[in-house]
A and B are shown apart, each in its own frame.
Chain A
Amino acid sequence: MTTQTRKSIFNRPEKPYVHPYFGGIVLGIILFLAFFLTGNGLGSSGATSRIDAAIVDAISPSHVDNNPYLLKMAGGDKNPLDDWIVPVFFGALFGGFASGLFNGRLKFMTTKGPHISDRTRWLMAFLGGVIFLYGARLARGCTSGQALSGGATLSAGSWLVMFAIFGGAYGLAYFVRKLWN
């Protein structure tokens, strides 16, 4: 695998990742505590949507008034950022950074398959983000909000969403194998 290391912000030795089952147990306990203390699970795609709504509301409030979907989040005196998922979103950004810092993984780099250029990878990452979030809003939640949180509370719809995500990815994986292998 080729990775380009341009710059290491802090010269810590890079530590290996934790064992997946251990990571899963810790994540499961965090998810449980979220439900136990607040009644809400984990998530992030809702925050993306809300940040968008806040930006639109700041630039063009009249556009919010003409879009019922945005209106639900940002209409009138509502602040689209006043929602539990927004602090979770920013918390996750800081948490990822902290883990990268302590484990020596803060590097400007591009993670990609061995046979594509950085530019191709960047384009694909951007496109993937557009597609993923469109689907996440359509399904009312992403891998965190639906698959993880809804999976743990045994929501019937969330289990379907989870299988659909894996189905979509496995279905297309063969055709885009050049991106990754």
Chain B
Amino acid sequence: MNFPLPEFIVVSASNPWTYVLFGVIGFAFGYVLEMSGFGDSRKLAAQFYFTELTVLKVMFTAIVVAMVLTFGAVGLGILDFSQVWVNPTYLWSGIIGGLIMGVGFIVGGFCPTTSLASASTGKIDGMLFMLGGFVGAALFAETEPLFTHWYNNAGYYGRLTLDQVFNLPIGVVVLLVVLMALFMFWGAEQLERIFGKKDLSREPKLRIAGAGALVALALAVVFIGSPSLEDKYNKLTFTRTETIEQLNADPIVNTITYTADQMLANRLVFVTPAESFKAKYNQSMKPVYLDVRSEADYNLYHIDGAVNVPLERIQEVIPVLLSEPPANTVFIVMSNDETAAVAAWKILAADSVPNVYILEGGINNWIAFFGTDDVSLRPNPNAGDDQLGYFFPAALGNRYESCSPSPIEYEHLEFEAKIKLQLKRDKSGGGCG
């Protein structure tokens, strides 16, 4: 079993259970906020006058508990982290938005979800905060077009996690965050003692044991580490449907599950030059051509629009591939023949980049298909595996005619379509956004 469950990643009317599950999650969320006292604005505002630091305690306890469990499950290989929504980093809109939220917090006494718990228990101020929220969100929608470029680009880093920022193993970051949270809890209790005149001796002793258990779990996460690329690759599954036409009966549709190696062996991820080219003009998909050859080969000849990411650097671009593109993006990787492209495909697939395909026969096959009338390209009979099979008069990059075949000349191309769009989660709805 692989988590998260694929059928619950996207809410859709075709599977009403998704509404039920998210409704139950929301119910539990609202319940626990109310029972922690977040329906009362005084309890929330007290956080900022150091008399009662319930907000910080609840929030950071929840963060570290969820974090330790999540990365424990990821380390054990039962949860696929690439399918877990990680808020993309937009530095400037995040910081300014955060500061504005802070102002709203201390003026209004709630944050959006706590206002729900407050409003639903009859607190009039909670209801008004909620109402104000609808006005604020509408104001944002009306004003966003004025600064949309800044909003969508300023300080954009994509899916960036703290382990990447500090260049530390994820387990170590988990442990450090737990230690930081425990230190903050200690500090919070001291502040409550000084400003809130709270008697700490009446606090449950059990919290010390809880802190110890949390550190032990965090140490276990460090010890388990992250699953290797190979483990992730071996767990991959792909489904394809196969229709068998029947005489005098409805066709039989079989769903077959393949492993990654079977996908390669059955050539299900290899797309012909014709299909790769036609993908550009297909409304339903947005192809991205990833050229994994060396920069030198790329400069000699490459398909128009192809992006050069040498194989040894492919892992650097994975966060970008995972975070940004719309769901209908299709990645077509290519090398001179297929060896490097297959290696790149394995890495990308293991990291759960969706819709990755390989250009069948690579650039050499592309030239053989589209560049036959270009006499300046002379075949090189001595080329080894995955080397360019042609001599080029000059390093013209994408300026050979066959780099961008004419859509008119090649309007009608026959091919067996291999690309099956796997529409992944709707990232635009992730997080709070």
Which residues in A have some Cβ–Cβ distance to B below 8 Å? 1, 9, 17-21, 23-46, 48-49, 51-53, 56, 67-70, 72, 82-100, 103, 105-113, 118, 121-122, 124-173, 176-177, 179-181
Within the assembled complex, what's the spacing in Å between the Cα atoms of A82 and B13?
A: 8
Is B5 a contact of A130 with CB atoms below 8 Å? no
Is B142 a contact of A67 with CB atoms below 8 Å? yes
Within the assembled complex, what's the spacing in Å between the Cα atoms of A97 and B120?
A: 5
A-B contacts besides A46-B433, A111-B42, A152-B70, 9 pairs, CB < 8 Å: A85-B22, A126-B108, A129-B108, A130-B132, A131-B108, A133-B132, A148-B66, A156-B164, A168-B103
Interface string of B84-108 (1 = CB under 8 A from A): 1111111101111111111111111
Is B135 a contact of A129 with CB atoms below 8 Å? yes
Consensus secondary structure, chain A interface? helix
Q: How far is the CB of A70 from chain B (nearest CB, A)?
A: 5
Within the assembled complex, what's the spacing in Å between the Cα atoms of A166 and B426?
A: 30
Is A138 a contact of B151 with CB atoms below 8 Å? yes
Q: List 7 A-B contacts (CB under 8 A).
A: A39-B8, A40-B22, A85-B432, A89-B116, A111-B123, A129-B133, A131-B101
Which residues in B have some Cβ–Cβ distance to A below 8 Å? 3-5, 8-13, 18-37, 39-43, 45-49, 54, 57-67, 69-70, 73, 79, 83-91, 93-126, 128-142, 144-145, 148, 151, 157, 159-165, 170, 173-174, 177, 185, 204, 207, 210, 425-426, 428-433
CB < 8 Å: which of A87, A122, A150 contacts B23? A87
Known: A19-B204, A89-B116. A113 touches B429 (CB 8 A): no
Known: A129-B133, A145-B87. A166 touches B22 (CB 8 A): no
The count of A-to-B residue pairs whose CB atoms sit within 8 angstroms is: 591
B96: which A residues are within 8 A, CB to CB? 135, 138-139, 164
Known: A96-B117, A127-B132. A28 touches B61 (CB 8 A): yes
Is B105 a contact of A38 with CB atoms below 8 Å? no
Known: A32-B65, A110-B123, A154-B161. A134 touches B112 (CB 8 A): no
B70: which A residues are within 8 A, CB to CB? 32, 35-36, 152-153
B164: which A residues are within 8 A, CB to CB? 156
CB < 8 Å: which of A36, A69, A144, A168 contacts B112? A144
Considering only CB atoms, which chain A residue lies closest to B40 in the complex? A111
Is B431 a contact of A177 with CB atoms below 8 Å? no
Within the assembled complex, what's the spacing in Å between the Cα atoms of A48 and B136?
A: 9
A39: which B residues are within 8 A, CB to CB? 4, 8-9, 83-85, 425
B131: which A residues are within 8 A, CB to CB? 126, 129
CB < 8 Å: which of A53, A121, A138, A155 contacts B86? A155
Is A141 a contact of B8 with CB atoms below 8 Å? no
Consensus secondary structure, chain B interface? helix
Is B69 a contact of A28 with CB atoms below 8 Å? yes
B144: which A residues are within 8 A, CB to CB? 67-69, 137
Is B26 a contact of A89 with CB atoms below 8 Å? yes
CB < 8 Å: which of A26, A28, A136, A180 contacts B42? A180
Is A125 a contact of B125 with CB atoms below 8 Å? yes
Is B97 a contact of A135 with CB atoms below 8 Å? yes
Q: How far is the CB of B155 from chain A (nearest CB, A)?
A: 9
Is B141 a contact of A70 with CB atoms below 8 Å? yes
Known: A30-B29, A35-B4. A129 touches B57 (CB 8 A): no
Is A133 a contact of B24 with CB atoms below 8 Å? no
3 tightest CB-CB pairs across the interface, nearest first? A128-B108, A168-B102, A145-B432
Within the assembled complex, what's the spacing in Å between the Cα atoms of A96 and B8?
A: 24
B39: which A residues are within 8 A, CB to CB? 96, 100, 105, 111
A162: which B residues are within 8 A, CB to CB? 98
Q: How far is the CB of B324 from chain A (nearest CB, A)?
A: 14
Considering only CB atoms, which chain A residue lies closest to B95 in the complex? A164
Is A93 a contact of B97 with CB atoms below 8 Å? no
Is B165 a contact of A137 with CB atoms below 8 Å? no
Is B102 a contact of A164 with CB atoms below 8 Å? yes
CB < 8 Å: which of B20, B21, B118 contacts A111? B118
Considering only CB atoms, which chain A residue lies closest to B124 in the complex? A110
Within the assembled complex, what's the spacing in Å between the Cα atoms of A125 and B164?
A: 39
Within the assembled complex, what's the spacing in Å between the Cα atoms of A64 and B134?
A: 16
Considering only CB atoms, which chain A residue lies closest to B4 in the complex? A39
Is A88 a contact of B133 with CB atoms below 8 Å? no
Known: A9-B122, A48-B137, A140-B94. A153 touches B85 (CB 8 A): yes
